[in-house]
Amino acid sequence: MTVDTITLPLTKIIEFLAVQSQTPAQHLDASTPVFGSVVFRSMLVLQLIAFLEKTFAIEIGPDELVPDNFRTIGTVADFITIKIADAPSAATT
């Protein structure tokens, strides 16, 4: 796994959430909470899931929609990094 593979999800997630929540990106980082934050409404979380699936060509199953995977922007990025690494196409490239 390269540095880009690790940092790209975090960067893309911050960019998406900054635009969608109208929050300056410099106010968001890996420790920013996703659930329970005034900035992030439940509808935005649904939009985030759709964005993640489309952007990273992954499928997030209902059993993966747990607080541990979406606690902070950093845990979302970690979850996506693992999903990318475990994706069948990643094993063949």
pLDDT single digits (tens) 5-57: 556 899 999 999 999 888 899 999 999 988 766 556 777 888 999 999 999 99
Please say whether the beta carbons of 43 and 50 come within 8 A. no
pLDDT at site 21? 85
Host domain of residue 22 = 3-92
CA atoms of 13 and 28, how far apart (whole Å):
10
CA atoms of 15 and 21, how far apart (whole Å):
10
E strand or H helix at 56, and its extent?
helix 42-56
- Please write the tens of the pLDDT for every residue from 53-80: 999 999 999 999 998 999 999 999 999 9
Taking the C-alpha atoms of 55, 72, 75 and 69 in order, what is their torsion angle to the nearest 10 degrees? -80
Q: Is 33 helix (H, G, I), strand (E, B) or coil?
A: strand
Q: Is 72 helix (H, G, I), strand (E, B) or coil?
A: strand
Domains contained in the chain, number: 1
CATH number, residue 24: 1.10.1200.10
pLDDT at site 89? 62
